[in-house]
Amino acid sequence: MPSEFGTDSPGADLPEEALARAQRLETVGRLAGMVAHDFNNILSVILGNLELALPKVANESVRAMLNTAMEATQMGAGFNRRLLTLAGGHGGQAVRFHLDAHLGQTWEIYRRVLRDDILLAFEPGSDAAHILADPAEIDAAILNLVVNARDVQLDGGRILISTRRTGRTEGGTDTQEPPQDKVEITVADEGPGMSADVAARAGEPFFTTKPSGMGSGLGLASVMATAKRAGGSFRIETGPQGTRAIILLPICDGVAVETLPQDGEVPLGDGESILVVEDDPLVREAAMQRLEALGYVVSEASNTAAAMAHIGRGEPVDLVFSDIILPGGPSGLEMSAMLRNRHPGIPVLLTSGHASGVYRDEHEASQTPEILAKPYSLRDLAFAVRRCLSAQS
C-alpha cells in the first residue's frame, strides 16, 4: 500500500478543511522555529560549559556524569533539528557528497539505538551517485526511520538500509526542469505494516501511534521536509510483510566534499583576534570562553552597529564570529556583506539556532559565509574557525 507525502490527495479535504489544516501547520511551523532558536541558545550555553568543565575534573565518576550530560544535550539538539526541519529551517549547509561512501561510514552508528534482537544491514547500490544536501539532515532522517522500524518490531527482526539508482526521470512538459537521475534511500523493516488510516496520516506533524512519552510525532514530518528541501520526495510502501520508507533524491554533478568529522588533533589558535557578535549575554560569554580555551584573543559586541564601530576604531580583528539573528539592527548576514565592502580582509563565520531559508535566499550562495549550527561542539568550532582563517590567508 504505497503512501506518497508532500502533496495533498485530490479530494482528501474540503476546501475549508484544507485551508484550516494549512493554517494550523503554518502556525506550528512558526512556533517550532521560535522554540528551536531559543532552545538551541540554551543548549549552546550548557554544552559549552560542560565541555570546558570536563578537562578540569579528575574524578572519573564526575567525568562520567559530565559526559552523560553532554550526550543529553546532543539528544536535545537532535529533537531540535526535527523541530527546525518542520519549521522549514536549515541547521547546516547543503554540500555535494558521495551517498554510498557516506552511508558506508555512518550506518553502523544507528546500531546504538537498536536492541540486541534486531539486525541492521546496509546494501549500497547507488554506484557513484552524488547528492546535494545537508549530510546531518540526511543522517537525522535515516535515524528517524531506523527508530520507527525498531519500534514496530517488538519481537526482533531485521532492518535494511539500501540505496539504488532509479534511472533518468524526464522533466515535466510544463516545467523547465531538465531530465535528472534519481537515487532512493530505503529503510525497510519486517514489522506488521501500517493500517490504511495510519499510513494516510503518517507524515502529519505531531501524529503518532506510539505510547505517551515514546514519540513526538515529528519523525516522519521532518523526514518529509528534509527530502523536499533536498529537491526530492518521500513515500511509504507498507503491507503485512513490513514497511519500506523511501527517500527519493536527485543526483547531482560536481566535486564532492568530505562529510564526516575531521580526524586528528583539534586545531588551536596562535593568538589571532576574534570578535564575537551575539545579543544574548550568556551565549556570548560561552562562545568567548571556548574561543579563549582554543588559544584566540577575544573581544565582544552585542549587535552589528557595535561590531562595525569596534572595527572602525582600528581594533585588531582577524575573524568575526557572529550570530545571524541580531535583534534591533542588521543581521549577521547583512553585516558580512558590509564587511566584504568595507573590510574585505576580515573573514566571517556565522552561527544560528535557526538559520532559515529566508535568510539564505536573500543572499548569493557564493557570498554566504560558513554557518555553524547551534549547539556546536568545541571541536566543530575549532575546525570552522581554522577553515575561515586559512581561507583568508
Top pLDDT among 277 and 3 is at 277
What DSSP string runs through 108-163?
A: GGGGGGS-TTEEEEEE---TT-EEEE-HHHHHHHHHHHHHHHHHH-TT-EEEEEEE
Task: Based on the fold, state whether residues 132 and 245 are members of the same structural domain.
Answer: yes
Angle between helices 99-106 and 135-152 (to 10 degrees): 50
| CATH number of the domain that residue 379 is part of | 3.40.50.2300
Task: Based on the fold, state whether residues 186 and 292 are members of the same structural domain.
Answer: no
pLDDT of residue 393: 63
Of 44, 69, 90, the residue that ends a domain is 90
Task: Based on the fold, state whether residues 160 and 298 are members of the same structural domain.
Answer: no
Whether residue 257 is contained in a domain is answered as no
Structural contact between residues 274 and 317, judged by C-beta atoms closer than 8 angstroms: yes
Of 90, 122, 150, the residue that ends a domain is 90
**Cell triple for 54:** 570536563
pLDDT band at 313 (very low <50, low <70, confident <90, very high): very high
Whether residue 255 is contained in a domain is answered as no
pTM value? 0.60
Whether residue 268 is contained in a domain is answered as no
Task: Based on the fold, state whether residues 100 and 79 are members of the same structural domain.
Answer: no
Selection from 85, 142, 67 nearest residue 111 by Cα: 142
Percent of the chain with pLDDT over 90: 41
Whole-number Å distance between alpha carbons of 72 and 313? 43
Whole-number Å distance between alpha carbons of 343 and 338? 8
Whether residue 261 is contained in a domain is answered as no
Phi, psi (rounded to 5 degrees) for 95: -135, 160
Number of domain units in the chain: 3
Top pLDDT among 170 and 246 is at 246
> Could you tell me the sign of the dihedral formed by the alpha carbons of 118, 158, 141, 82, in that order?
negative
Whether residue 265 is contained in a domain is answered as no
Task: Based on the fold, state whether residues 75 and 103 are members of the same structural domain.
Answer: no
Task: Based on the fold, state whether residues 243 and 101 are members of the same structural domain.
Answer: yes
Task: Based on the fold, state whether residues 9 and 134 are members of the same structural domain.
Answer: no
Residue 25's domain spans which residues?
2-90
Max Cα distance, the chain (Å): 71
Burial of 136 (C-beta count, 10 Å sphere; 0-12/13-18/19+): middle
pLDDT for 19-34, tens place per residue?
Answer: 665 565 566 566 666 6
Whether residue 205 is contained in a domain is answered as yes
Tell me what the mean pLDDT of segment 80-106 comes to.
71
pLDDT for 249-274, tens place per residue?
Answer: 999 875 555 555 555 688 999 999 99
Of 90, 123, 152, the residue that ends a domain is 90
Amino acid at 91: G
| CATH number of the domain that residue 128 is part of | 3.30.565.10
Task: Based on the fold, state whether residues 82 and 108 are members of the same structural domain.
Answer: no
**Cell triple for 183:** 537515487
Task: Based on the fold, state whether residues 100 and 82 are members of the same structural domain.
Answer: no
Task: Based on the fold, state whether residues 18 and 67 are members of the same structural domain.
Answer: yes
Task: Based on the fold, state whether residues 122 and 205 are members of the same structural domain.
Answer: yes
Task: Based on the fold, state whether residues 280 and 379 are members of the same structural domain.
Answer: yes
